[in-house]
Structure 1
């Protein structure tokens, strides 16, 4: 019997991997492939795979870990700029399809509780799906990207809160003031107790963990698992479902327990265990419960649910988005992006099926609705964003702004003063004299070790768009860039590589998406001396035709000792001269000689 279960588990994992890989290659989230492979190979069609008690247990743990991971991925600070438009999009994109889904089930003589479950499932959107599609369509630096992410976050959170209320009501089983008050009271106690632990107790744990030198990644991972399961059990004790507790645990773990580097390291392991192992088991086995008979017995209901989900999401988002002042066309675009459903919808539907609140037919309809709506997102979002782009209405927006520069030496100070004409610039240096001199010249400068997280925090690194490492030591520059990348997620990293570097350092640039300053290996000391002694000349030259920075260096610096430092755009906006950039005709290059 044990061998059969192990073989079945192996087959489920292989099927999940194959389905996920195929879906990913086609440009869709792996969850769709996992669901479809479960439907095709499960009892409903070919019967190659079958369920078991062991699989059900692993699947249940999988959804807890997945909800925790979704919570860990949410960064409220990055969504601040889109909070109001995101709230409008979330409300419209949730309420309208929720109402349509609810009354569709009522129209077909379903129960109120079943209708509520369907309304929630139709109203949610997929945060993970949005991230992948936005990357593929190169939309991450647009306003619609931030609104989409904020809308998905608020929509899913709203769905979980309503879901918690329904679960509490089902647990009580009757409608009266006393029972409903008891449900609401337990829920409030859970949220309050969770907040107290997350806000006040977790930071204390985090400090103790950071001071201990004997705790390794395995212990950190174990602590994370204990927290997730503990919060899940608290939610169960409060009459809610464990997924809500896991979600709350993920939110508090992100900012309260581990240092940023440890958090990034441990969440990588958590991601592999949840997304790579446990969650696929849940989605494949969820496909086992799908009945293809709905296409014969409930085809009209299936069509109405899908139509209500699509029309309600797009029209509701566009309508409620109007007060943002960004136009109905942007609202329609955001609606098409929020149209996909994902993990939360399937999890809620699965729980409803387990509790007997919805039937196998309704569950099957919700799964096909999730699949069909998610399939529309890449096509509709591509079409609507191109529509906005052609009309000149695709607004670029980056929550991160400004430069963080390591090295207050004369060269670093010179570049900082040039860049701060149009940007916020912060310098970092461990030399008190250089820090004082930079401050005297009007540049915001932090005194501290450029390889320490505390120094980056003082420099507000989480809000910076670009990190530039300009010390004379290539190794320090690379280590600092890795810190900027791994712990503070700074999108753009530019590193000075010394002329004596043997090439190993350059190999470290690509894995973290960094570029080399000045588009060539450069010794900082001679130029720092020339600037401090005022023994240099600054030149500004026009660029006649489009070229890469490397091509410009080869053309102009072949027989001359020059240092290209900045590119000046047609509007006068200056940016650093580095390897991974191109220069357009009519732009200018500032170089030192």
Structure 2
């Protein structure tokens, strides 16, 4: 009983440490996994010894690996692969096999076994999917060709790594490998993929259609079904002589939203995310840090430096070299290589299994963990440099550009803004007031009735084409909550919200955290302006900017606060919201309202 109590305390300490490590590292723009690994190294046996690797931690970590691989599989969108199939395949092959070969021969050169060389090679070849979207948004690259190729390349690379890894573990567990054994192993692998793909394509969709028609309306039941399918796939992988993580990954590929009734999909996804990414996976990554030996910086610094350097150079050079047949240029290949340079979940999982199987030792495992940390740290820095390089040369290719505006709130101010902007781009308004929605529709605006915090309602606005979100209700917190949803769920790049007062609870730090700017470049009591417009006590006017100035400084010229700047019209006729982070250029036009009172 006493030992169980200690285990409970240890699990709680590991979870708290994982949370704190993740929060701190995300503040500087990196994925939580790095913080979880680092906190495990520092608080684990290697440094302070405050956290223990108990049997309960081991069990939870192993379940965490399985659930994490399901989640990674569920995140793969086959439509994205189709969009950039050829360039993405080239980037994946070059970014995987060049560092793979370099890593393998480095280990052999250092006296390692061929099997250890293969494990290191796979770990170096993978590409992390952990935070690509966040980085792409921050660098304004989401709608570029390099973003699409990076995502497709990462998906293909990790899938390839898992397949090769499972084949290698199959051979590693065989006592001898002759021609008969080779055919037997190959047959089991082919049979595994044949069965799992057939079940995923033919059986699971039938099950999904049955569930949609059934009276089962309990998300817990569906969550249980996900686990049953997952563990069934894992068992098939084990029977085929491969590791269970490949089975979990294959299960995730086919456990898509359309398998479940639409009304519980959101609840189900959130529950799975919370259990896997929020609970189990952090325990695995913190416990992985327990096995890292920081003394490699003294004893094996040269090997650490060589493997990390080869991982970076091999990934970037390999991607650029193999990317040449795409016809998109070597500079674009280098840029994609810098974006694919990070490692993460899959690499740590593979290294951890190699350590557990005794194929690699603690030193190699520690080097691979530090390599994953160092390479991931380079991604935002190198990708920023190389993407700016492409921009300066005019070689950054944009895909179908988002050009829609979504406005939260139907009111006199939003209708005025929509009047101007609708001449230049599609505008959609959202409100839960039927009368105001009807008014907007009579004015020939596209308007959606419903609660904007409901993702199904927002989906009606076709968020994939939305470039800008404007929160224009008198409630600052509602504006921010919907803006956060638009940013995180639909990756809307430009976010502007109206803030009522400095005491509204929506301060500068909160806005900055969610990449949101203050509309009008100042706090505004919208209700006052609603009445002024309705009573026809405002004048619509404009001012030509004669020199470069920030929006915030421009507003300060009108100390009497009797103006409301709505939009900025550039010299080429583009309209954009007037906001706190904006910079006005000479020749641009500020469209604003002036009170007549």
Indicate which of 309, 312, 315 corresponds to 1:310. 312
Instruction: Give the conservation status (yes or no) of the 8 Å contact 1:85–1:147.
Output: yes
Q: How far off is 1:321 after superposition?
A: 2.7
Root mean square deviation, CA, Å: 4.9
Helix, strand or coil at the partner of 2:93: helix
Partner of 1:193: 199
Partner of 2:189: 183
Partner of 2:99: 97
Deviation digits for residues 146-172 of structure 1, max 9, x if unmatched? 543443233222212322333455567
Partner of 2:154: 152
For residues 345 and 63 of structure 1, the distance between their equivalents in structure 2, rounded to whole angstroms, comes to: 12
Helix, strand or coil at the partner of 1:339: coil
Partner of 1:55: 57
Q: How far off is 1:435 after superposition?
A: 7.6
For residues 483 and 332 of structure 1, the distance between their equivalents in structure 2, rounded to whole angstroms, comes to: 33
Q: How far off is 1:56 after superposition?
A: 1.5
The change in CA–CA distance for 1:401 and 1:86 in structure 2 (over 3 A counts) is farther
Instruction: Give the conservation status (yes or no) of the 8 Å contact 1:29–1:132.
Output: no
Equivalent residue runs for 1:427-576 within 5 Å: 445=446, 449=450, 456-468=458-470, 484=486, 488=490, 490-492=492-494, 510=511, 520=524, 521=526, 524=530, 527=533, 539-547=541-549, 555=557, 564-576=565-577
Deviation digits for residues 237-276 of structure 1, max 9, x if unmatched? 5544332343344455563356889666665555554445
Q: How far off is 1:305 after superposition?
A: 3.3
The change in CA–CA distance for 1:261 and 1:537 in structure 2 (over 3 A counts) is farther
Partner of 2:587: 586
For residues 305 and 433 of structure 1, the distance between their equivalents in structure 2, rounded to whole angstroms, comes to: 64
Give the unaligned 5+ runs of structure 2: none
Q: How far off is 1:464 after superposition?
A: 1.7
1:120 and 2:122 equivalent? yes
Q: How far off is 1:97 after superposition?
A: 0.9
The change in CA–CA distance for 1:477 and 1:179 in structure 2 (over 3 A counts) is closer
Q: How far off is 1:314 after superposition?
A: 1.4
Q: How far off is 1:313 after superposition?
A: 0.8
For residues 327 and 4 of structure 1, the distance between their equivalents in structure 2, rounded to whole angstroms, comes to: 58
Helix, strand or coil at the partner of 1:127: coil
Q: How far off is 1:294 after superposition?
A: 6.5
Instruction: Give the conservation status (yes or no) of the 8 Å contact 1:313–1:335.
Output: yes
1:351 and 2:353 equivalent? yes
Give the unaligned 5+ runs of structure 1: none
Q: How far off is 1:315 after superposition?
A: 0.7
If the length of structure 2 is used for normalisation, what is the TM-score?
0.75
Partner of 1:363: 365
Bigger drift between 90-99 and 427-436 goes to 427-436
For residues 559 and 362 of structure 1, the distance between their equivalents in structure 2, rounded to whole angstroms, comes to: 64
For residues 299 and 461 of structure 1, the distance between their equivalents in structure 2, rounded to whole angstroms, comes to: 49
Helix, strand or coil at the partner of 2:130: helix
Partner of 2:341: 339
The change in CA–CA distance for 1:580 and 1:80 in structure 2 (over 3 A counts) is farther
Q: How far off is 1:347 after superposition?
A: 0.3
For residues 386 and 254 of structure 1, the distance between their equivalents in structure 2, rounded to whole angstroms, comes to: 36
Q: How many residues align?
A: 578
Instruction: Give the conservation status (yes or no) of the 8 Å contact 1:89–1:318.
Output: yes
